[in-house]
Amino acid sequence: MALPQTWLQPRYRKNTYLFIYYLIQFCGHSWILTNMTARFFSFGKDSVVDTFYAIGLVMRFCQSISLLELLHIYVGIESDHLLPRFLQLTERIIILFVVITSQEEVQEKYVVCVLFIFWNLLDMVRYTYSMLSVIGISYTILTWLSQTLWMPIYPLCVLAEAFAIYQSLPYFESFGTYSTKLPFDLSIYFPYVLKIYLMMLFIGMYFTYSHLYSERRDVLRVFPTQKKKM
């Protein structure tokens, strides 16, 4: 059976791939947020402590495949700036895999639950907006929300990430995780690395916030014009 002519065009193959990718991310983050909400109403505060054990695997899957977005931008199938997206993704990967996953004591902290809520709120809106945009569907409220929700939540995310690093420092100091000795009497003391990264986190936040604000201004300026032409 011959494929439709439109399917053979690269633009349609690209849009189909992006739609499936955004759909997978949306389903993953929706499941996480729904699971967290249901567990909280069922078990109350006790559900907060074992948030990571309940949903950590799905969260790690979603954040791992999000690295594909760097490839999307690099090869040109997704239009965005590479460096801001790189900063956003790497800060999550470092916090999730290096800080939280490596220290069981940190996994039980309330900050992990708060951080997961913030991440999922942002991603559910962003991936819903991106998924619908790929197939040419746009809603004013969703466009505004995707370009505005990050303004209060993203700084709170960075504060929660910084607090997670702060709470993890005693455990990295006690267990010596990732600290190693090098030849010629040199060594890497990982708590120092985290303290340096803590400062870089806020520098990166300023850069990312400026980029997102500029992008918001451009999108909301163009959107009313596009709506009139429809």
Active site amino acids: 154, 161
Given a contact cutoff of 8 angstroms between Cβ atoms, the answer to whether 167 and 109 are in contact is: yes
CA distances in angstroms from 125 to 30, 65, 147, 177, listed in the order given? 10, 18, 9, 36
- 50 Cβ contact list (under 8 Å, min separation 6): 108
User: How far, in Å, CA of 66 to CA of 130, rounded?
Assistant: 14
Helix (H, G, I), strand (E, B) or coil at 11: helix
User: How far, in Å, CA of 7 to CA of 12, rounded?
Assistant: 6
Closest-CA residue to 38 (of 51, 57, 26, 24): 51
Closest-CA residue to 59 (of 15, 107, 131): 107
- 215 Cβ contact list (under 8 Å, min separation 6): 147
CA distances in angstroms from 43 to 35, 38, 39, 47, listed in the order given? 12, 9, 6, 5
